[in-house]
Amino acid sequence: MHLSRRSFVKAGVAGAAWIAASHPSISLARGLLTAPALDEIVQRTLAAAKRAGASYAEVRVVRRRGESVFTREGGVEGVGSSDEYGLGVRVIAGGAWGFAAAPRVLAAEGERVARQACEVAKAHAALRERPVALAPTAVNVDVWQTPLTKDPFKIPLEDKAELLLAIGREAQKVPGVAFVTASYEGHLEWKLFASSEGAYVEQQLVRVAPGYTVTAVDQKKGGFASRRHDFAPRQGGWELVTGSTLLADARRVGEEAVEKLAAPPVSPGKRDVVLDPSNLWLTIHESIGHSTELDRALGYEANFAGTSFATPDQLRKLRLGGPHLTFYADKTTPGALATCGYDDEGVATTRWNLVERGLFVGYQTTREQAAWIGEPQSRGTSYADGYASVPFQRMPNVSLAPGERPLSLDDLVAATDDGVLIVGNGSWSIDHQRKNFQFGGQLFWEIKKGKKTRMLKDVAYQSNTVAFWNACDLIGGEASWRLGGAMHDGKGEPVQLNPMSHGTPPVRVRQVQVLSTGRGA
Amino acid sequence: MLAEAAAKTTLARALAAAKKEAAGAAARGGGAVAVQAALRASRGGHTRFGNSEVTQASELERTELTLTISLGKRRASATTNQLDGAGIDDVAARAARMARLSPESPEAMPPLGAQRYLAAVRGAGGAAGPVDAATAKAGAALRAAATKLALDKARAAGVRIAGYYEHEHYSLSLASSAGLWAHHEATSARYSCSARTPDGTGASWAGGASHRVSELDAERYAETAVAKALAAQKPRRLDPGKYTVILEPAAAAALTRFVIDSLDARSADEGRSFYSKPGGTRVGEKLFPETITVRSDPGDFAAGGAPFDAEGVPQRAATWIDKGVLTQLPYDRFWAQKHGKPVSGLPDGWSIGGGTASRDELIKGVSRGLLISRFFYNGLVDPQLLRVSGLTRDGVFLIERGAIVGPVNNFRYNHSAAELLRRCDGLGPSEVVTVDGGSRLRAPLLRSHDFELTSISEAI
């Protein structure tokens, strides 16, 4: 695919007459880059969908590039580069959705795929209880791209491998460290979205995800312990990697793995837990993020991912914490993984509250879903993980707003008489209505009389979403707020993977069930 | 899907491009040139429904060409889905550039040369082969008909239903500069549905997977899901604790998967596996009762068996746990060479051998216990113990004095997958199920004791 400054060729393109009369002028865009040939493919595809009976059509041309490096101790295990390009068409025909996709971005293929999408829709139309209806949205014509300083795809491969190998060398200097695996992933997502309503949005997102795990092994006793670095993947360039403390932390991470191997297991029971942002982001993801997906709440994901305790009848009634807890969703936080200008239905991204001062107030929605709860507009959370994937509701960034008091993690520890401090993510599991959960961690410290006393191991905390957040009594201030995130969150059948971030301060939660998960548990 | 001749043409073109690029890179400072190529292609479709409404219906075509170029010990892989001349030239140039820039990989293995694959499972065709004609031809009409059955039965029973039907015809072709040629075509299909009662107190799941759509009984799955949701309605409260459990195949597969996934010689040798012991591995030890046998079979197409793995390593039917004894562990090519062992590659077509007991017979032998339909969000908590935590869903039924007495609430469990098998005392027939939305596995109805349910899950 060739990218060049695009001249917006509209007049004379087949099917252009069908484009909404209110199609905005290209002068409103900030500088689209799409090649004219690609624009012709898009317009012919949309026109073919109309001729085949679509009442609505959208085409997405998507290119996804990836680069990966894996090292193991002193050597490179694998180096990879991926590039995928294709075209997907989604239509409404006969009141039902239809989708088809092909890896050849050509006008004739676009037209064929558009017809196929309409046939698929019509084959299912008689099964619809009610025709698909979309909430209105502004007809956006725009371009958006990840702000970055250093394009990670232009950084020499040796630099990436050398960083990982240097991390391995540093960690292996620690006596007792047996293995170090390190990895780097870079992802580029370029997509052009055009709809029969006239939306025309081009976006380019870049994400980087380095990481490593150090393992200490006790061959005599037969035990081992691993410690994974807490670096959170982000949207941005190579500057996020070079500006990180990944290498500087390697020895400490190695020492922590060795210390963890020798640490005593936790004594199970009800304890206060102090959760570092590197642990808590995943708890927010699972308990607040997934539970406020409207499709889940209404049973649309019941066959696989499950449903939700946060049903619409609970809106503005259910308390998910005290007035110090506000969870918000957004696709606008700079550097967060789900941030972009527009979702995959061309809806401009925004920020809104899911839980406001402890009260459940909002859902994540798409254009089809907004009317299901009487909302006039989509929240802009549609996403498809490639050209051949059907767009559907996916989680944006979901974060816990910092507290008003300027408390730090140390302040939370100091305020705790008898508890456990948990850092990083270990195992995780939550039920299919997002109530009963159990989370592990990477590192655990006993807290006695306001002080970290000794490291523990084999710790997990188990609770119920509503009880857990209502037992959260202390949260850190703005300076303690950190982004965590997941590159590959799965949802749907077939499973699609979605990246998103979760910002949070550290919190304290009172009297949570702490489990010992190791031998003798 | 690409037929063998078309795949051969594309891969010949790709190997030629890769060799040319690799030679150029070698001239600028590389080592001995070797090239391998893998081509995956698929065509298929899916239909989703939820809340008794069709939500997605698609027809998809995908391709992926991966070129791996080795310059001595330097090696890199690049993929593309663009199979025209420009796409192939681009991926070859990328692979060569990255290989030249890569640091040496101490574990790099040369590409495989010509291999002998089991004739019975090689290639396409035949009623007994991995390609099922009806599945290859399946489309929106078949899926819509299955969906209609589910929607109609749910409507008649006054429940809501969700489900998913997918089918695919795919091929994997491999070639290398050392003379490797491998081509495998297969079909796959899976269908499942979940019903929920309007009061939100009863939920269920039913489904299956195979390489043949004819083996997916959409009507039976819908009937089972509807009936089970109604039977699971208004569960009584039961305390957590240790229970005798009968796991339906979907539940048994979700846990025993961890026993299979941990079968790996290297991690066992390195002391970081359930199969490790101080100073060595547990090969030769009797880990489970005699009824437990774990096999992989490239000829078990319904369970995803194939004649070779992704690298082209030939697959043979193998027994890994024989009557409870760990007999061997799989070796990848590097670890096999290092230790002078035969290469196993990555086997597929896994099964945990079933027994002959019927469901009723297994239930009759339980004085007090639980019948568990399915597990959810199963996460490894301790890899050395194979301790897993997850939750029950879609129907838990109390058994008293050899009979089901009614539905009970869901639970979180914290239990070792190895302990589950160690305490197994009854097996029913196996069936193919999909695990975690992906790979297929043949797993039995399984009874075990002292299963640790650690807290109540209020989820329905």
Residues of B in contact with A306 (CB under 8 A): 376, 393, 459
Contact B102 A460 (CB under 8 A): no
Cβ atoms within 10 A of the Cβ of A1, count? Answer: 14
Note whether B376 contacts A431, CB cutoff 8 Å: yes
Provide mean pLDDT across the span A167-187: 97
Q: Quick one: pLDDT at residue A17?
A: 32
Chain A contact for B106 (CB, 8 A cutoff)? yes
- Quick one: average pLDDT of B132-160? 97
Q: What is the pLDDT of residue A10?
A: 31
DSSP-based three-state secondary structure for A304: coil
Looking at residue B426, what is its pLDDT?
Answer: 97
Please give the average per-residue pLDDT across A417-434, as a whole number.
Answer: 96
Mean pLDDT of chain B: 94
Whether B414 has its CB under 8 Å from any CB of chain A: the answer is yes
B60 touches chain A (CB under 8 A): yes
In three-state secondary structure terms, A408 is: coil
- Within 8 A of B103 by CB-CB distance, chain A residues are 75-76, 158, 161-162, 165
Contact (CB<8Å) A127/B90: no
What would the mean pLDDT of A448-453 be, rounded to a whole number?
Answer: 98
Across the interface, whether the CB atoms of B54 and A515 are under 8 A apart is answered: no
Amino acid, res. A284: I
What was the pLDDT predicted at A410? 98
CB-based contact, A390 to chain B, within 8 Å:
yes
Comparing C-alpha atoms, which of A183, A68, A79, A65 is closest to residue B76? A79
Alpha-carbon distance of B300 to B120, in angstroms, equals 11
Contacts of residue A467, defined as CB under 8 A and 6 or more positions apart, other chains included, come to none
- Closest chain A C-alpha to B76 CA, distance in angstroms: 5
Tokens of B345: 């590659």
Distance from CA of A173 to the nearest CA of B (A): 19
- B169 and chain A: CB distance < 8 Å anywhere? no
Question: In this model, does residue B126 exceed pLDDT 80?
Answer: no
| pLDDT band at B290; cut points 50, 70, 90 | very high
Q: Across residues B193-211, what is the average pLDDT? A: 96
Chain B residues near residue A81 by CB distance under 8 angstroms: 76-79, 94-95, 98
Distance from CA of A336 to the nearest CA of B (A): 26
pLDDT in tens, B206-246: 999 999 999 999 999 999 999 999 999 999 999 999 999 99
pLDDT digits (tens, 9 = 90+) for B377-435: 999 999 899 999 999 999 999 999 999 999 999 999 999 999 999 999 999 999 999 88
Among A224, A306, A515, whose Cβ lies nearest the Cβ of B414? A515
Helices A157-172 & A250-262 angle (0-180, nearest 10)? 40
Cis before residue B429, ω within 30 degrees of 0? no
pLDDT of residue A26: 31
Distance from CA of B14 to the nearest CA of A (A): 16
Q: What would the pLDDT profile of B336-375 be if each residue is shown by its tens digit?
A: 999 999 999 999 999 998 899 999 999 999 999 999 999 9
Distance CA B179, CA B35 (A): 10
Stretch B151-176: mean pLDDT: 97
pLDDT at A452 > cutoff 90: yes
CB contact under 8 A, B459 and A438: no
Question: Binning pLDDT at 50, 70 and 90, where does residue A1 land?
Answer: very low
The confidence score (pLDDT) of residue B108 equals: 87
Distance of CA A35 to the CA centre of its chain: 30
- When CB atoms are compared, the residue of A179, A220, A494 closest to B278 is A220
Task: Give percent of chain A above pLDDT 90.
Answer: 88
Mean pLDDT, rounded, for A395-407: 98
pLDDT tier at B29, thresholds 50, 70, 90: low
Chain B CB contacts of A100 under 8 Å are 58-60
pLDDT at B120: 52
Cβ A306–B393 below 8 Å, yes or no?
Answer: yes
Q: For the residues A252-275, what does the mean pLDDT come to?
A: 97
Count of residues in chain B: 460
Residues 321-380 of B with CB under 8 A from A: 376-380
Say if CB B187 and CB B204 are below 8 A apart.
no
pLDDT of amino acid B354: 81
d(C-alpha A286, C-alpha A9), whole Å: 45
Q: pLDDT tens for residues A278-325?
A: 999 999 999 999 999 999 999 999 999 999 999 999 999 999 999 999
pLDDT of residue A13: 31
Question: pLDDT tier at B119 (50, 70, 90 boundaries)?
Answer: low
B61 CB neighbours in chain A (<8 A) are 101-103, 388
Burial class (CB in 10 A: 0-12, 13-18, 19+), A233: buried
β-pairing, A451-456 vs A428-430, is: unpaired
Answer yes or no: is pLDDT of B447 > 60: yes
* Full DSSP string of A457-491: BSEEEEEEHHHHHHTEEEE-BGGG-EEEEEEEEEE
Residue B269: φ, ψ to 5°: -60, -35
Count of all residues that appear for chain A in the document:
521
pLDDT of residue B30: 62
Which SS3 state, helix, strand or coil, does residue B194 take?
A: strand
Query: CB of B303 within 8 A of CB of B441?
Result: yes
pLDDT score of A521 = 53
Top residue of A63, A76, A285, A437 to mutate, by most chain B CBs within 10 Å, is A76
**Chain A residues 341-380 within an 8 A CB cutoff of chain B:** none
Strands A397-400 and A418-423: unpaired
User: For chain A, what is the mean pLDDT?
Assistant: 92
Interface residue B47 vs chain A (CB under 8 A): yes
Q: Quote the pLDDT of residue A36.
A: 73
**Span A153-161, mean pLDDT?**
92
B57, closest residue in chain A (CA to CA): A98
- pLDDT tens for A5-23 read 233 333 223 333 333 333 3
Is the Cβ pair A513, B455 closer than 8 Å?
yes
